[in-house]
Structure formats: C-alpha cells, structure tokens
Chain A
C-alpha cells in the first residue's frame, strides 16, 4: 500500500516550546492509523498542523504526492481532508442539518442568483441535500432524522459526536481525521460509535483515517497501525499489541520505576 500522507521532519515550535520535534509519519491508503500518547505529547498540534490551522516551523507534508505544507485550511479541505475536533466544535445554536451542511459547504452552490432569486431551483437543490442528510443520519440513529431541524445543543453527547462525524464525512473525504471521538461518552457508547465509523469505512470507500483516542480499547479494536508520540517525537510504532508491550510506551504513560 502506498502512503497517502507523509510528514517528514515536521517541527512546530511555540516560542520556546517544541510541540512537534522532527516528526516522521506516514499513513497508508485505506488504513486506520491510531495516534496515541500521553497528554501534551503533540497529537492535537499534529492535527492542527496537518489541517492548516498552524503553519509548521519546519518540515514537509505530502498528501497524495502533492506538497500541502503551507496550505490554508480551505485548500487542504479541498484536497479531501476532513476532521473532527477534540472538544466537538459544532455550532450548537444551528440545527443538525445546518451543521452537516457546513461540512458540505464546498459542494453547495453559493452564488446570489441561485440562492436569492431562483428560489424554486434552490428549494429543489435543498430537498436533494436534505434527503441525503436524512439518509446519513438514518444509518447512524434513526431518531436523529426527526430531530434534523432542532438545534444541536439539544442533543446528547453521542448524538453530537454522530453529527460531527457526519459533518466530516458528508463530502466523502479521502482522509478524515477523528479527534477523540469517544470523549464524554460511556464505554458502550464509544464502542457503538466506533462500529458505526468502521461501517461507514466499509461502505465502498476506502477511507484513510487517523484516529486520536485516549480509550485504549477503541484503539485496539479499530486501528491497524499505531504511532505513539511523546514530547513531540515518535516514540515507537507498530500494531497495537506490539506498542502496548513496548517498555518505552509504558514508561511514557506511567513514568519510570524508582531505582
């Protein structure tokens, strides 16, 4: 399998703090890459650098053979990279449908003529997307369909995560990144959600996913390959069993035994 995404020598400094330090990372087409590491190890920074929110201090990011190192978030999204956020950044006062359509922004017709003057054509266009969103939601949680025009703020945590994942997946990106999809949910809910995500992966498209997750059980079940970060550097990589058995990883999480 070819690497879809390659980072070489990726470095991100904030003043005196080096959040990412000369990092090499590759994600192969179609795999689910688990990104783990203790708090402050640079996982979130890596996501923000990869999606163009931060501009890296040094290094290079290649996606599908193209250099995307200094792209804006908009340019990077256009290439098919979508993400969710650690603390789900949904627009709570907007409806479920609105939030999903924000993820669909680049597929929408945005000219004044279409939106303001040709209302009949707009309504047909709208109904098409409404049905599509309903179909997506039905696959996740049928009860969400009837709440499609309610504010997201009214939903439970798991449903919010579902909406957020739908927002990231609605444009059928080649490379979604999921950040802490289980945060704020019970174990059962997490398992259910991950099953849903894997199901949407199996549905024809071979999505390449990078998953940040603190719940090790989720990592074990969902990922084919893991990368462990610590202090902005790659500590080790491999399959789940290999990684958890690695004494360096145990040391990073639990600290060194006193001599």
Chain B
C-alpha cells in the first residue's frame, strides 16, 4: 500500500471526502446563474471520473467499510451543516427535504426489488397513500399528529395487501404489469374521488408535536429560520431510521433469505425457505417505508394532489434505484441527490427531465447495468471479513 493510500484508509479518508462533498453541495445549491451551475456540474463529473480512474472511489469505499460509524456521522453532519447554511432559504431547505423523503421511499423500494426481487412499479402510489392518509388524519381526526406518520406507513402497507395475491402469483413482466396497473388505477381513483379532493387535491394540515407548530418559522434573536427546517430535521431522523433498519436487514439472516428468494426460488424452496412469506415481508416493509416517507412529505408540501403521485413518479423512484445500484443503500442516497437536485437547479433541462431520465436509464442498462455503486457481498458485522 502506498503512503497516500495508508493515510486515506484512516479517519482522514472519511473526513476529507465529506468535507469536499459539503463544500461542493454548498456551492452548487447557492449558485444562481445557469453557467456556474453547469460549470460546477461538469467539475463534479470530471472529478468523479478522475476519482474512478485513479482508484479513489475504492479507497473511499474501503475507508467507509472499516469506519462506518465515522462515515455515518460525517453524512449526518453534512446534512445538518447544509440545513444551518440554508436556515432562511425556503427553496433549498425544501429541496433537502424532498431528497430525504424520496430517499426513504426508495429505501423501501430497495427492500422489495433490491433484496427480494419483487418488482414494484407503483412505489409513488404507496408514497401517495401515506400522504393522503396523513392529510385525512390531520384534518378529520383528533389523533396526535405524530401518529399520522406510522399510520401513513401502516395504511400503505395494508393497501399493498390488495396487490399481494397478484404479485405472488405472477413474476417478471407480469408482476410489473400488475403493479403498473395499480399505479394507473390509483391516479384515476384519486381523480374521481370527492373524498380525496379529486384532481384539485386537498390541503394537509401542518404537523404539531407537543404544541410545536411545524408551519411556523423558528425565531432566533432577530432572525427567523424557515419552517422547512423543522420538517428537514424530522425527515433526517426518519431517513436515518429507515437507513439503519434497511442496513441491519441486509446484514441479517432475513436479508439472506430475501436474497435467496430473489436469486433462485426453486433452490430456495428445496432448503426450506418459504418464498411467499419472504416476498410478503419485503413487499409490506417496503410499502411501509414508502408510506411513512409520503406522509411526512405531504405535511411538508401542505397541499397534495394526484399529480404528485403519478406513474411517472414511480418510474422516477425506480430510476433512482437503478442509477444507484440495485441493492446498495449508499447508492440510493447518491442517486436520489443526483436525480432530485440536478433538474431542479439546472433549469434548462427541467422541461426535458423525463427524456433525460429515460436516456440515462437506458445508458446505464447498456453500459453499467450494475449502477453507479454496485452492491458488494454481504458483510454481516459491517466490516469486511
């Protein structure tokens, strides 16, 4: 091992990249004109290409693998630092919140497709079920508002049971068709349903926890921080929880059983693995996470309509998973940031975003089907053996 590599396998190997990441994202998010945005994007792409060529990515992945806690702390610090940096900036805080809500939903999708191999083209619908559940619970009942979060997840998981029978009885293309049909039906159902506000949608009452109103800004001396800050903090908490659960799930016998079901159902059955049981587990847990994320996202939006949860959004979630590397939760984080932030900031492509996603997904499938960060073999205790 060279001297540089030895240095970067220590704490510095986590802290320096984290610092660079923070500096770049701070610059990128504050950049206003399109040329500097384009320049910073190009510089990032160039830097990443160089990093791959010079093997820095592998050094980083190894450094992360041996000092996982430190890296987790670095990531949380980056998010907190960005929140503090943009404390009065509604727009950027909203972007950060969107990233975290989407990442949580895609973590759910990852449990389904990445681990158990259950295709789900209706992830955004379950995200929406969570959102509408929160909307109805907050305006129509006296339940403690915080309960709307787990209930949003639970209702999404229950709604998923409608799909269980067709999902278990079909596989491959057919399962994809079934879930696509569900996504389209869900949209139509919302459009025609008076109770859910029809195509105009419904307002979502703000979250209040112990008298703390999430729709009010935070007063700090003379300054008033954006109310999105509160949602972002809660979303960060939810994302950390979801991330930790998915990671522990992967590094357990349950994760192994899910992988076995995905890779060979017949062989798995011959070793006593109950295929249906694990598919149901993965599908339900995934929908729960999507619904949970959707509930919180809806509260942050304050107003939701069927247009927020279309089939195109489901495809967006899927493309995040494909881009990041199916089954790798670190890849999910990276890909969510890219897919959410780039079209938002880079307005020129805003109109063509779906075109660009499709091209991107096609290119990925042709040239790098494993995604940006392909999954590594399971390490049960975290550090590689």
Is A149 a contact of B385 with CB atoms below 8 Å?
A: yes
- Of the candidates A51, A72, A82, A149, which one forms a contact with B384 in the assembled complex, judged by CB atoms under 8 Å apart? A149
Instruction: Return chain B residues, CB-CB under 8 Å to A82.
Output: 270-271
- Of the candidates B252, B269, B377, which one forms a contact with A122 in the assembled complex, judged by CB atoms under 8 Å apart? B252
A73-B269, A78-B272 are known contacts. Are A98 and B377 too (CB-CB below 8 A)? yes
Instruction: Return chain B residues, CB-CB under 8 Å to A167.
Output: 271
- Of the candidates B252, B273, B378, which one forms a contact with A105 in the assembled complex, judged by CB atoms under 8 Å apart? B273
Cβ contacts A125-137/B at 8 Å (1 or 0 each): 0100010000000
- Of the candidates A83, A92, A102, which one forms a contact with B256 in the assembled complex, judged by CB atoms under 8 Å apart? A102
Interface size on B, residues (CB 8 A): 28
CA distance A112 to B272 in the complex (A): 19
Is A101 a contact of B377 with CB atoms below 8 Å?
A: no
Instruction: Give the residue among A52, A77, A115 with the most B Cβ atoms within 10 A.
Output: A115
Instruction: Give the residue among A53, A73, A92 with the most B Cβ atoms within 10 A.
Output: A73
- Residues of B251-268 contacting chain A, CB below 8 A: 252-254, 256-257, 259-260, 263-264, 266-268
Is A150 a contact of B377 with CB atoms below 8 Å?
A: yes
Instruction: Return chain A residues, CB-CB under 8 Å to B273.
Output: 74, 102, 105
CB of B248 within 8 A of chain A?
yes
CB closest residue in chain B, given A146: B385
Is A53 a contact of B269 with CB atoms below 8 Å?
A: yes
Is B377 a contact of A149 with CB atoms below 8 Å?
A: yes
Instruction: Return chain A residues, CB-CB under 8 Å to B377.
Output: 93-95, 98, 149-151
Tell me the minimal C-beta distance from A165 to chain B in angstroms.
Answer: 13
Instruction: Return chain B residues, CB-CB under 8 Å to A98.
Output: 256, 259, 377-378
CA distance A53 to B266 in the complex (A): 8
CB of A256 within 8 A of chain B?
no
Is B260 a contact of A102 with CB atoms below 8 Å?
A: yes
- Residues of B367-385 contacting chain A, CB below 8 A: 377-381, 384-385
CB of A103 within 8 A of chain B?
yes
Is B263 a contact of A93 with CB atoms below 8 Å?
A: yes
Is A95 a contact of B271 with CB atoms below 8 Å?
A: no
Cβ contacts A75-94/B at 8 Å (1 or 0 each): 00110001101000111111
Tell me the minimal C-beta distance from B251 to chain A in angstroms.
Answer: 8
CB of A110 within 8 A of chain B?
yes
CB of A236 within 8 A of chain B?
no
Instruction: Return chain B residues, CB-CB under 8 Å to A148.
Output: 385
CA distance A95 to B250 in the complex (A): 13
CB of A258 within 8 A of chain B?
no
Residues of chain B touching chain A, judged by Cβ–Cβ distance below 8 Å, are: 245, 248-249, 252-254, 256-257, 259-260, 263-264, 266-274, 377-381, 384-385
Enumerate 17 A-B pairs (CB-CB under 8 Å) in ascending A order. Answer: A53-B270, A77-B271, A82-B271, A83-B270, A89-B266, A91-B263, A92-B263, A94-B260, A102-B273, A105-B257, A105-B271, A105-B272, A116-B248, A123-B380, A123-B381, A126-B381, A148-B385
